Amino acid sequence: MPRKARLDIPGLLQHVIVRGIERRKIFFDDKDRDLFLSRLSTLLEETDTDCYAWALIPNHFHLLLRPNRIELKQLMRRLLTGYAINFNYHHHRCGHVFQNRYKSIVCEEETYLLELIRYIHLNPLRAKLVSDYNGLTDYPWCGHSVIMGKKKLPGQVVDTVLAHFGKTLKSGRLKYHDFVQDGIALGKRDELVGGGLRRSLKGQAVPEIELSDDRILGSGDFVKGLRHEQALHEKLMAGMMLPELLGRVASYYELDKKGIGQRSKNEKVRSARDIYCYIAVRILGHSGTEAGKELHIKCSAVSYAVRRGELVANNQPGLVDKIISQDSTIKQRPL
């Protein structure tokens, strides 16, 4: 049976699992691990990707990522290819390093973010790389040590994670520490490595099984919405350019394209600019500089507009779909 295509849309939380070919080791020594983390950190910052958790095991690794501007596959291609070349050179070998296809699971962030952080950061303990939970805090090859302040990894999200547990770093770390420790008793937790609701409810008596998808960890409503968003994303990525997007936004808001980029207190103009920047950067994957050129505004202004545009989109479900689904032959207002 052919494998399903990946669900790969910027802005989604994804649990990535990569294994060595034939389950062989992909990290032989600390030099390998340092090389991998250095490359990962650089790519996280270059691509505006948030990393919430990670763990390096000798023959595989886990990442919890949210690419904000590009598709996950672009980041993973650069990460895996670059590491494999250096790994082979370092160990005087040739050939494949990783299994041909890494596993990526789209996750419903509101429900599973903290559970996945805990699950991933307990991996070294489950793999017996550390003898007990206290040893995990000082273990340098896991994101847990970064959150606990024992190590630094530029690109890993720390403050936002700790804010879920306390108002200060100190109180947040204490409660996070207890939260992760409590997870030891929960065991392996197969339900957190994919399969949607159908798998997560395995063995339970439920009146009705919701829509599920092996590529997704989330509720039936989340699966349904994500499938629609994926279809929309594929349509966009098929060739819509920024001038066309700007034209569609202008048409929807009944504005001329030049007016959208101008400073204005008019709520309609601001909403149009914000939603254009949001679609251009978060959905189409363009840089802030590229998106700003169409409006003649700076990259910093685009960044603020993207965040406001996300709020507009969240408060008006279906808005993005309405804008990009317009007939491309619709005549724009004269400039």
* Amino acid (one-letter) located at 204: Q
Would you state the pLDDT for residue 161?
95
Residue 74 has pLDDT above 80, yes or no: yes
Would you state the pLDDT for residue 334?
32
Residue 199 has pLDDT above 50, yes or no: no
Q: Are residues 120 and 175 in the same domain?
A: yes
Residue 255 lies in a domain: yes
Q: Are residues 124 and 258 in the same domain?
A: no
Would you state the pLDDT for residue 4?
56
Q: Are residues 247 and 181 in the same domain?
A: no
- Closest Cα partner for 180 from 248, 269, 250, 120? 120
What share of the chain has pLDDT > 90, as a percent?
48
How does residue 43 score in pLDDT terms, banded at 50, 70 and 90?
A: very high
Helix axis angle, 299-315 to 288-295, nearest 10°: 90
Compute the average pLDDT of residues 86-106: 89
How does residue 207 score in pLDDT terms, banded at 50, 70 and 90?
A: very low
Would you state the pLDDT for residue 233?
57
Strands 49-57 and 13-19, by their bridges, are unpaired
Would you state the pLDDT for residue 325?
67
Residue 211 has pLDDT above 80, yes or no: no
How does residue 314 score in pLDDT terms, banded at 50, 70 and 90?
A: confident
CA–CA dist 103, 192 (Å, integer)? 13
Residue 99 has pLDDT above 70, yes or no: yes
What share of the chain has pLDDT > 70, as a percent?
81
- Closest Cα partner for 63 from 323, 71, 210, 72? 72
Residue 332 lies in a domain: no
Q: Are residues 277 and 196 in the same domain?
A: no
14 beta partners: 65, 106
Q: Are residues 244 and 195 in the same domain?
A: no
Residue 180 lies in a domain: yes
Q: Please say whether the beta carbons of 28 and 20 come within 8 A.
A: no
Token digits for 65? 């990522």
Report helix, strand or coil for 54: strand
Residue 332 has pLDDT above 50, yes or no: no
**pTM here?**
0.66
Residue keyed to tokens 């309609």: 268
Token digits for 63? 């990442």
Residue 315 lies in a domain: yes
> Where would I find the H helices in the chain?
30-46, 72-90, 109-121, 123-126, 133-138, 143-147, 159-162, 169-182, 196-200, 220-237, 242-253, 257-260, 267-278, 288-295, 299-315, 319-324
Residue 303 lies in a domain: yes
Q: Are residues 104 and 36 in the same domain?
A: yes
Compute the average pLDDT of residues 131-144: 94
Distances (CA, A) of 173 to 115, 161, 164, 188: 16, 10, 10, 24
Residue 222 lies in a domain: no
Domain end point (choices 147, 176, 200) = 200
Would you state the pLDDT for residue 209?
37
Report the CATH number that the domain containing residue 31 is assigned in CATH: 3.30.70.1290
- Supply the mean pLDDT for the chain: 83
49 beta partners: 67
Q: Are residues 250 and 299 in the same domain?
A: yes
Report the CATH number that the domain containing residue 260 is assigned in CATH: 1.10.1750.10
Q: Are residues 188 and 248 in the same domain?
A: no
Element at 61 (helix H, strand E): strand 60-67
Q: Are residues 110 and 247 in the same domain?
A: no
Encode pLDDT of 229-280 as tens digits: 655 555 555 556 888 889 999 999 999 888 888 878 889 999 999 999 988 8
Compute the average pLDDT of residues 308-318: 83
CA–CA dist 68, 70 (Å, integer)? 6
